Amino acid sequence: MRAAVLKHWLHRPPTGYCPGRTLASALADFKGVFSPLSVETASAVLAVCDDTMTIEARECVERHFQMHVVSLEMTLTVAARVEPGIRIDIRNTGMLFRTGVACKVRAGKSSTVEDLSGMITGDPELVKALMVLDFRRCSLESSSEGWIVRIEPFGASEVVNRMPSFRRYIRLSTEQNQALLGAFRALRSILTRKDLAVPMEKEISADA
């Protein structure tokens, strides 16, 4: 009982957090690029205009002392036959200015990982999008159902502070919106390539 109360207390949202507020502002920013298919309090499934792709947007709260930041984690699931357990972070390169895109492999050591890293860094559409997009995180993760792409843009977030007291939504500009869409499209295109799929024999031997 006490443990449950303590757990509840430790996991309660920060003071001043309004579930869905940042998402609602972001939905207004997304207009013309992403449109919602279904909306829960703090998450939504978005359809991409002129495309069959669907993306899940979920509010994430990052706590600080007497302050919190609400950002949106955008997730695209790409159905594919792929070996599970691969995790790759994608980031920009450069010391002062963005010079390109690099991959950091967090888990997985197969040839698929090397191939995929090469495709990501060599894809002109993806590089173009990620050179424009202000993002905090961009990662790929494989599971038995396929690839999960997660991008957390810097915009479409809200900062709530208590010393001094203010709250401010940071919008996602049209250019950032287009870059976000470009990144998802390029990554989907890479991840659905046939040469990345796990061959049937290999999958069977792995199961065995």
Partner 1 sequence: MTIFDKLKAHLDEGVVGFPTALASSVGVILASPVILTVTTGFGLGGGIFATAMAIALIMMLAQATTFSEAMSMLPTSGSVYDYISCGLGRFAAITGTIAAYFLVHVFAGTAETILSGIMATVNFDTVQQVLDKTGTAWLVGVGLVITFGIVNFIGVTAFSKAEIVLTGFMWSTLLIFSIAGVLSAPVVPLQGIYGTSPSTDLTTVFSFIGMAMFMFVGCELVTPLAPEMKNAARNIPRGMTIGLCLVAVLMYTYGAALCRQVANVAVNPEGTVHILETPQAIPAFAKQVMGPFGKIWIGIGFLFAGAATLNTLMAALPRILYGMALDGALPKVFAYLHPRFKTPVVGIAVAVVVPCAHAWYLKGNLDKIMNLVLAAVCSWGVAYILVTLSVVSLRIRRPDLPRAYRSPLFPLPQIISTAGIVLGIWYVTPPGMHSHDIYVPFLVMLGAIAAYALVWTVFVMKVHPFRPVPVEEILEEEFRKNDMAEAEIGHVHAGEMVNP
Interface residues toward partner 1, by CB under 8 A: 9-10, 12, 14-16, 18-21, 24-25, 27-28, 31, 35-39, 41, 62-69, 91-99, 134-137, 154-155, 157, 159, 161-171, 173
- Would you say 145 or 166 has its CB closer to partner 1? 166
- Would you say 56 or 134 has its CB closer to partner 1? 134
**Contact (CB, 8 A) for 46 and 35:** yes
Query: How many whole angstroms separate alpha carbon 1 and alpha carbon 197?
Result: 48
- Would you say 74 or 170 has its CB closer to partner 1? 170
- Would you say 18 or 148 has its CB closer to partner 1? 18
Q: Least separation, in Å, of the C-beta of 24 and partner 1?
A: 4
Q: Least separation, in Å, of the C-beta of 88 and partner 1?
A: 16
Got the DSSP string for 60-73? EEEEETTEEEEEEE
Query: How many whole angstroms separate alpha carbon 178 and alpha carbon 195?
Result: 28
- Would you say 120 or 170 has its CB closer to partner 1? 170
How many helices (H) does the chain have, and how many strands (E)? Answer: 6, 10
Query: How many whole angstroms separate alpha carbon 122 and alpha carbon 103?
Result: 11
Q: Least separation, in Å, of the C-beta of 129 and partner 1?
A: 15
Q: Least separation, in Å, of the C-beta of 4 and partner 1?
A: 16
**Contact (CB, 8 A) for 85 and 107:** yes
Q: Least separation, in Å, of the C-beta of 83 and partner 1?
A: 29
Question: How far does Cα 172 stand from its chain's mean position?
Answer: 15
Residues 6 or more apart in contact with residue 24 via CB below 8 angstroms: none
Query: How many whole angstroms separate alpha carbon 206 and alpha carbon 144?
Result: 12
Query: 22 is written with which tokens?
Result: 């940042």
Q: Least separation, in Å, of the C-beta of 123 and partner 1?
A: 18
**Total residues belonging to the chain:** 208
- Would you say 94 or 122 has its CB closer to partner 1? 94
